[in-house]
Amino acid sequence: MARGGFYAVQNGRSNGVFNNWDDCKSQVSGYSGAVYKKFDTFAEAQAYSGGGSSSSGYGSRSTSYRNYGEPQRRAASNFAFKTSETKVSKPPYSGQNRFNTDSSSRNARADYSDYGRRAVPSSSVSSVSSRSSGARSGSKNYYAVKSSSPQVKDAVFASWDECKRYVSGNGGLSFKKFGSANDAQDFIKGVSSNDYKLIGMEESSFIEHYRRKSPQNESVQRRNVYCDGSALGNGSFGSRAGYGVYFEGDSTKNISEPLNQGASTNNRAEIQAVSSALDEIWADLSKRNSAVNYQIKTDSEYVSKLLNDRYMGYNSEKINSLPNRDLIEPLIEKYAKVKTFYQVNQDTFGDVPFKIDWVKGHAGEAGNEIADELARNGASRA
């Protein structure tokens, strides 16, 4: 089982609290005079990273990280709680997009369930940390940023200003305000109390049916799955649509099919691509007992945000009112099943939450280009 805990950096390249050893190590490796420590609770780690002392925790060092006693390799989530002074280079906030002083910005500040739409990220953001006024004043609000982009990490901030700077100009991000760090963490991990209801099974029944009896030291593979849709003449009379799924390293599972259900639009084709990928993944995990950590990648920001966070705030009435409900309703159910399967089998797969990665389309990523070609071939047969 992967180790848990929080890794506090009091003196490093970027100070703050990190949820996994790899992120912590990147801040202290080779950094002269690095000071860091592992804690069991976020509160202790937060206090330590802000300059406090602590008799609890373990593994503290003020020298090179190699003296730390590196923990076991763990499949860790990538988000970090950020609470100390910024030490990375990032363009200053310019007031562009929705972060300004007009009424729409004030409404956005009041309701963080209204997720922002962002431009394509121009650079990789590995870590942002700040000593926020909210943290100093004892504020109990936390601002969670959930990323569908592999180039930008999930993060939790103690102030709106820091959250705002982090998301400005980056694509594939959703953000929300919470009253506790645990709720913010659940948002990032994709924990939803409604998933079993969507699946149509009680939690105990699901666990009984789908918890794996893993042999000791079982080898787990990791496989990327690229999904894309295509519509020839999208939006015009007589358009033809298709979808493609590319299973990296296992071409026997590849999918290239015409979209024969409903309107022939690019959006519907992209939804169906991810839905079909989830069908194959579910069959592989639940029926063939495969030990594979699947990572779905799509250039549809709509689909990635829908599955990574938005659906968790929807009731059945809201889902029924969505455009393309005939495809979205089963899509959400399939995603909830696969996500929950990985959650109840963390002993095998580790505690990295299953989510959908958003990738920029036609940007030279080989897997995405192959999925696009499969989708075009499917559309040509419609």
Per-residue pLDDT of the chain (382 residues; tens, 9 = 90+): 344 678 888 887 777 888 778 788 888 887 777 888 888 877 777 777 766 555 455 444 433 333 333 333 333 333 444 443 333 333 333 333 333 223 333 333 333 333 333 332 322 223 333 333 344 445 578 888 888 777 788 888 888 888 888 888 777 787 888 888 877 877 777 667 789 999 999 999 999 999 998 766 788 999 999 999 999 988 788 899 999 999 999 999 999 999 999 999 999 999 999 999 999 999 999 998 899 999 999 999 999 999 998 998 888 899 999 999 999 999 999 999 999 999 999 999 988 889 999 998 888 899 999 999 999 999 999 9
Q: Is the pTM of this model over 0.85?
A: no
pLDDT in the model for residue 331: 98
pLDDT of residue 121: 31
- The b-or-e profile of 179-203 (16+ CB within 10 A means b, else e) is eebeebbbbbbbebeebbebbebee
Which of these CATH numbers, 3.30.70.3270, 3.30.420.10, 3.40.50.2300, 3.30.1370.30, describes 195-380?
A: 3.30.420.10
Tokens 């982090």, located at residue: 166
Strand partners of residue 229: 243
CATH of domain 103-189: 3.40.970.10
pLDDT at 90: 37
Residue with tokens 């590319």: 246
Nearest to 176 by CA among 108, 130, 235: 108
Provide the pLDDT for residue 13: 75
243's enclosing H/E stretch is: strand 240-247
The confidence score (pLDDT) of residue 62 equals 38
- Residue 94: the pLDDT is 34
Helical segments of the chain, H only: 21-28, 42-49, 103-110, 133-136, 160-167, 181-189, 195-199, 203-210, 266-286, 301-308, 316-321, 325-344, 346-349, 366-380
Residues 6+ apart with CB under 8 A from 91: 169
How does DSSP classify residue 115?
A: P
The predicted pLDDT at position 118 comes to 33
Per CATH, 6-76 and 195-380 having the same topology is answered no
For the chain, give every domain's residue range: 6-76, 103-189, 195-380
Helix (H) or strand (E) holding 225: strand 221-232
What pLDDT was estimated at residue 128? Answer: 34
Q: Does domain 6-76 have CATH number 3.40.970.10?
A: yes
